[in-house]
Each structure stands twice: as structure tokens, then as C-alpha cells.
Amino acid sequence: MQLARPVGREAASRKYDILSALMAFALAQDKHVQRQVMRLMALITTRYNWQRDELTMGQAEIARLWSVDERTVKREMARLRAKGWLVLKRQGARGRVSCYGIDLNRMMEDTRPAWPLIGEDFVERMTGRDRGAEAGQGGAPTNVVPLRPVPSPDRDGGLWARVQARLHAEDAAIYGAWFHALTEIGQEEGCLTLAAPTRFHATYVQSNLRERLMRALRREDPSIREVRVIA
């Protein structure tokens, strides 16, 4: 995916979209992830330079903002770098603090499963499905963040590939957010087992999208009577 950096006339609305995705993602996770994302959002809203992609702030300042000690800051910043959301641009030295960038593309890709929790309009805006997606082809400028849509899978890859292609044709946005990341584990006695990247992802599909998934499965293979999604 390629995310246009939120600068210029439409910067404010794009920033809100990014922060909304972070918020929805965090609220769907456990308390540890929620706290981590809240800390990152605090850095973004107080010290991040969107135009230059620079976050320059000393550990003592971060500790004060987060109400923690500096050891906690070191651990949390390391976790955010390992996650790929923070990128070290310049190592701190004597008299100079470290400078970080934020990988917005990675961050938005990781939060994609939570987009439908905000609303269908948000998913459409982020995937460029509404009219504003045509702005680069002569339409009026909009606040659409141009992300690359998930392509349709090859139907020649077996049962799950055929089901994925059908789900993509029915709703590309829902497919990209929830079904694209599922992988087939196996099939036994009429039950198809799929693996999701996280427990939340698996629970959401089982609770909210199971009927849609079963309809697509039965159309491709009527012998399928059950589907399990595990993390």
C-alpha cells in the first residue's frame, strides 16, 4: 500500500483518519496493546512533525508525558521499532536526542482489520472505493487516502482460493479487511479450518462474518458443513 503523507489542504482530515484507525485498532485489543497505542498517539499529537516525518523528543520528556520512568520509555520505544511503526532516522548522541520517523504504510496495514469497526464509509474512503478515488483522473480533490486495494486471488489455487475470489467479488473492502489474511490449515470431515493473524481477527470473523463465509464456501463446495477460524 502507498499512503500519501498527510500534508497540504486536506492534511487535517487525513490525520484524523490515521488517528481513527489507530484508536479503533487499540480498542479491539487487550489492555497492553491499548496502552502502547495510546502512548504512540500521545507522541504523534504532541511532538510529531507530519511534513518532515520527524519525531524528536528526549527520553526524559517522553517519560514525563507518559507518566513512567525512562526504563519503561526505552522498552516501549524498542517495541514500537520492532513492530515497524517507529523507524530510527538518527541515533541520539551527546547533546542531541534521537530522531524517529513513522511508517504510516505499515501502521495502516496493521490496523486494516479494525477499519470496518469505524464504519463502511471509512473502509470505502481508505480503500478509495468512493467517487473521490477518481480525483487523480480529473475529479475534484478529496480527503481520500489512496491505499492500494487488495487484488482478487487466483481461482486456480484450490477451494479456499475459489472462495476468496468469490468473497472479493462480493465486497472487495470487507475481503481486504478480514478474509485476505486468512490462510487454509486443512479440511476434514466437512470442516474447513482457517488461521487468522490474531485472536481478535479470528473472533471477529467467527462472530460477525461466519454466515457470509459459509455461504461462499457452500457455493464452491456443498460438502462443507462447518468452518473454524483459529489464531
Q: 88 has which bridge partners?
A: 100
Give the count of domains, the chain: 2
Rounded-to-integer distance, Cα 20 and Cα 187, Å: 38
pLDDT value of position 8: 60
Whether residues 144 and 217 fall in one domain: no
Helix, strand or coil, per DSSP, at residue 107: helix
Whether residues 53 and 142 fall in one domain: yes
Whether residues 32 and 115 fall in one domain: yes
Whether residues 136 and 176 fall in one domain: no
Among 149, 174, 202, identify where a domain stops. Answer: 149
Whether residues 36 and 129 fall in one domain: yes
pLDDT value of position 150: 67
Whether residues 107 and 213 fall in one domain: no
Rounded-to-integer distance, Cα 42 and Cα 80, Å: 13
CATH (domain of 75): 1.10.10.10
Retrieve residue 201's grid coordinates: 481477527
Among 125, 149, 173, identify where a domain stops. Answer: 149
Whether residues 196 and 136 fall in one domain: no
Whether residues 145 and 159 fall in one domain: no
Whether residues 81 and 2 fall in one domain: yes
Whether residues 95 and 196 fall in one domain: no
CATH (domain of 184): 3.30.300.180
pLDDT value of position 143: 41
Q: Which domain holds residue 22?
A: 1-149
Whether residues 48 and 106 fall in one domain: yes
pLDDT value of position 149: 59
- The residues of the chain scoring below 70 in pLDDT are 1-10, 128-151, 155-157
In angstroms, the Cα distances linking 182 to 29, 74, 89, 135, 178 are 19, 34, 34, 32, 7
Whether residues 170 and 130 fall in one domain: no
CB 7 within 8 A of CB 52: no
Among 149, 171, 192, identify where a domain stops. Answer: 149
Read off the pTM.
Answer: 0.59
pLDDT value of position 217: 93
